[in-house]
Amino acid sequence: MSKIRVMDEVLANKIAAGEVVEKCMNVVKELVENAIDAKSTVIKIELEDSGVKKIKVTDNGIGMDKEDAVLAFSRHATSKLKAVDDLFNIDSLGFRGEALPSIASVSHVTLKTSDGVSGTEVIINGGKILSVAPCDLREGTSIVVEDLFYNTPVRLKYLKSLYTELAYISEYVDKMALSFPNIKFVLTNNEKTLLNTDGSGRLLKVIHDIYGLAVTKKMIEVQGENNDYEIHGYISYPEVMKSNKNVITTLVNGRVIKNHELIRMITDSYHTYIPPDKYPIIVLQIEVDPTLIDVNIHPTKMDIKFSKMDTLKELVTQVITEQLEKLTLIPDASLETKIEPSGKTTISTNYTPASTQEFDTHQKEEEFQKFERMKLDFEARESSTTYPSSPSKDEEDTSLNLAEEKQVVSKERIKKMYPVGLVHGTYIIAENEDGMFIIDQHAANERINYEYYLRELSNPERVVTDLLVPITLEFPTNEYLILKQNFSLLDKIGFGYEEFGFQTIVIRSLPVWLTKAKTEQAVRQIIDIIITQEDFQMEKFLHHIAATVACKASIKANDHIMLKDMEVLLERLRDCENPFTCPHGRPTIITYSKYDLEKLFKRAM
Ligand code: ZN
Ligand code: ZN
């Protein structure tokens, strides 16, 4: 029986409206997903002028017989469309077969396909079949789409610049390569190779092919499961941050998904490790019982609905924070500059044309193998050295006050550092046997204060103190009305206040911790936060207050502090739960390892 099924008129007409094809990427997407459905293990995408002139997709899949090859371009047929519900239950990537006739109606198409028995060539111009003839081809399909939108100049006008079109395609192919590490993807533009994965099934190798070595070194494998979900993938060190959300790739049951809430769960897990407008590089594969997701949203937007969002959030948060809490996250100053230029990052906005950086498969493979050997060596060394040395360290630490148990654990995250001096009244230079450290004194102090204020804010047994001189605050009507609605928040923080006449309140007592900061300023800022907040969440509110007060209360740049103050500051930083970033996600410490220094001064090669 034919693999192609005839679909109903309504849908066919909708498709004729042509909402399916608007970018070259849509054509590539359609052809690539057909190739995946055909069980291909090698998919080659060749572009000329970013696909505007020519898109050729060749695969080694099961191919079609003559009947299907002709029917594939009929407006009334599709091999894959069943019900939208099937999307996640069937092998097929589904719901796109309808795009093929749309593509054919606005371009010149040459299809060569063979099911292994006989080959067929179909040539179509502007949707009209010109010829159907037998041809030779090993099993598989090749489709050439030329002069896209040649007969609809209006649509042609909507195509973005060649680089933008290429960036969309490149981003899409990257995501497919990450979704299907078992399929070899080759992407070329004007005969320059942009991506060439090996189909060996190694997800980290695909990450390396896409983002380069510097990023790959900073990826951590994660996995976890609960009753509803299973997660596996890679997350980046916070220092590898990008300005584009697209570096977060999430797959659900093998399919790329863009779900707003899921992305927020991930970025929330990096809260204060990364500035709010930056994103970590993430590839997360999520496995879930298909009955727990709803795909009836809009299939082309790649979004789905999870019926158990809370348990997913629990798992994602746990999997990521567990890893982050284990790591020493001091960015290596000598590596820092190397991370940005390598790899294709934030492609939609600043994609670099592939003139100088053609993809070199051999070099990539060698580089990756070298990296894997190094990693194995390193892991072997780690496991052999930490054991003998750690008991003595533990004894030393347990001699400390037991009440500080939690802090003893966190101290392990950074070794003791000895301050040497201050640069520009801002950066503390410190050292230990591992290397040299540069600490931003404001950021470090801010982190220490932040964690202190956050603890105090969530401490129900609050110590309150009366103010010698009450603080009187007057507000414009609109602000006062908002404040009045939120008096409970003042109670929550521990303010003692009363309304005083028209749109004025008097603060008579404050929690003790707040009086350590610059009191009146801090009080004003807290109230500002209350008045201007949108989309209230208690946790975020408390974070915001702690971060704001911490910034105010911390030493500034150009405060020339003494060596013994530096010592105290560094020790207290080591006590922090996350000593590596300030509450705004900026780094507190960077380092030059001893080896880096030797390398930089050519003492070591
Ligand atoms: Zn600050
Ligand atoms: Zn900060």
Q: How far is the CA of 526 from the centre of ligand 1 (A)?
A: 15
pTM of the model: 0.73
What is the β-pairing status of strands 248-252 and 282-288? parallel
| Closest ligand by atom to 586 CA | 2
Q: How far apart are CA 193 and CA 377, in angstroms?
A: 32
CATH class of 197-380: alpha beta
Please, are residues 187 and 43 in contact by the beta-carbon 8 Å criterion? Answer: no
Q: How far is the CA of 546 from the centre of ligand 1 (A)?
A: 11
pLDDT given at position 277: 86
Which residues, in sequence order, are CB contacts of 94 under 8 Å at separation 6+? Answer: 37, 80, 81, 82, 86, 87, 299
> Which residues on adjacent β-strands are paired with residue 287?
230
Q: How far is the CA of 171 from the centre of ligand 2 (A)?
A: 32
Q: How far is the CA of 54 from the centre of ligand 2 (A)?
A: 49
Helix, strand, coil fractions of the chain, as percent rounded to 5: 45, 25, 30
Q: How far is the CA of 203 from the centre of ligand 2 (A)?
A: 35
Number of other CB atoms surrounding residue 120 within 10 Å: 23
Q: How far is the CA of 249 from the centre of ligand 2 (A)?
A: 28
What is the β-pairing status of strands 279-280 and 282-288? unpaired
Q: How far is the CA of 352 from the centre of ligand 1 (A)?
A: 34
Q: How far is the CA of 551 from the centre of ligand 1 (A)?
A: 4
pLDDT given at position 299: 53
Q: Tell the CATH topology of 9-159.
A: Heat Shock Protein 90 (3.30.565)
pLDDT given at position 566: 93
Name the residue ranges covered by the structural domains of the chain.
9-159, 197-380, 401-605
Q: How far is the CA of 557 from the centre of ligand 1 (A)?
A: 10
User: What CA–CA distances, in Å, run from 138 to 65, 335, 506, 508?
Assistant: 13, 47, 85, 85
Encoded tokens for 95? 């719901």
pLDDT given at position 19: 54
| Closest ligand by atom to 444 CA | 2
pLDDT given at position 370: 86
Number of other CB atoms surrounding residue 497 within 10 Å: 19
User: Which stretches of 53-202 are DSSP H helices?
Assistant: 66-71, 99-105, 153-158, 162-179
Q: For 401-605, CATH number?
A: 3.30.1540.20
Q: How far is the CA of 421 from the centre of ligand 2 (A)?
A: 22
Q: What is the pLDDT of residues 396-410, one digit of tens each?
A: 333 333 333 344 444
Q: What's the number of CA atoms in the CB half-sphere (13 Å) around residue 74?
A: 15
For ligand 2, a single-atom ion, the residues with CB < 5 A are 446, 582, 584
Tell me which residues of the chain have a pLDDT lower than 50.
Answer: 1-4, 6-11, 13-15, 17, 78-96, 337-356, 385-410
Q: How far is the CA of 491 from the centre of ligand 2 (A)?
A: 27
Q: What's the number of CA atoms in the CB half-sphere (13 Å) around residue 111?
A: 30
Q: How far apart are CA 410 and CA 393, in angstroms?
A: 14
Number of other CB atoms surrounding residue 396 within 10 Å: 10
pLDDT given at position 327: 80
Which residues, in sequence order, are CB contacts of 25 under 8 Å at separation 6+? Answer: 51, 165, 168, 169, 172
For ligand 1, a single-atom ion, the residues with CB < 5 A are 551
